[in-house]
Amino acid sequence: MAIRDIKPTRSELIQLKRKIKLSERGYNILKMKRDGLILEFFNVLEKAKTTREDLQEKYRKAARMSDLANTVEGSISLKAAAFSVKETPSIVLKSKNIMGVVVPQIEASKVRKGLFDRGYGLLATSSVMDETATAYEELVDSIVRAAEIETTMKRLLDEIESTKRRVNALEFKVIPELTAARDFIKMRLDEMEREELFRLKKIKATHKD
């Protein structure tokens, strides 16, 4: 079909202008969301670094204390103390919203226990057993915090990537295509008006003759 055969209307031009405005507004909103999510991600990343270092340190400490308790108390006493725990940690998974992204909020209870809540006999064991129990309770607590932060990081990163794709699609595809279509229709309408004006002038000139 030749360009001259295409006859757009003013309403089509108005609709395209409206679509461009909506797309530009959506682009600006998504760009602000992307930038905000990136800032949040780096804030969480800093926490993740600290939490990861803390987790590694807690793990090394728990392993050292376990080896020491195994040497002082013996493997049988160590296992008996471990199995004597009456109340296991309880995990409650909730959620919170960060700029439209639902991330986990993990609440743990009964992780850290008092000396009398661990189940094993205090008189039959040494302080090494207590320190070992404390080290493992701190390790579990650190694991819970690390799990929450690591999962939050992943979900934020997924949302950043998704938002970036939408921003790029609007910036490099949708808006340019709509703008090109608007410019073409405007040019074709102006051309049609000139053709119509020329035709009317020709008819007027013919009537004068």
What are the pLDDT digits (tens) for 4-23?
566 788 899 999 999 999 99
Least confident of 137-141, 156-160, 180-184: 137-141
16 touches 178 (CB < 8 A): yes
Q: Which domain holds residue 144?
A: 32-160
Residue by residue, DSSP assigns 152-175 as HHHHHHHHHHHHHHHHHHIIIIIH
Whole-number pLDDT of residue 121:
57
Decide which of 120 and 40 is more confident: 40
pLDDT band at 112 (very low <50, low <70, confident <90, very high): low
Separation CA 209–CA 163 (nearest Å): 67
The number of domains in the chain is: 1
Q: How many CB atoms lie within 10 A of CB 189?
A: 16
182: enclosing H helix or E strand: helix 175-208
What are the pLDDT digits (tens) for 43-84?
999 999 999 999 999 999 999 988 998 888 788 777 776 667
What are the pLDDT digits (tens) for 90-109?
778 888 898 889 998 888 77
**Residue 21 resides in a domain:** no
**Residue 63 resides in a domain:** yes
Whole-number pLDDT of residue 76:
78
**Residue 168 resides in a domain:** no
Computed over every residue of the chain, the mean pLDDT equals 85
Nearest to 20 by CA among 169, 173, 179, 165: 179
Whole-number pLDDT of residue 136:
86
CATH number of the CATH domain containing 48: 1.10.287.3240
Distances (CA, A) of 193 to 10, 59, 166, 172: 12, 79, 38, 32
Distances (CA, A) of 59 to 30, 132, 145: 41, 11, 14
Whole-number pLDDT of residue 5:
60
129 touches 69 (CB < 8 A): yes
**Residue 99 resides in a domain:** yes
**Residue 204 resides in a domain:** no
188 touches 8 (CB < 8 A): yes
**Residue 46 resides in a domain:** yes
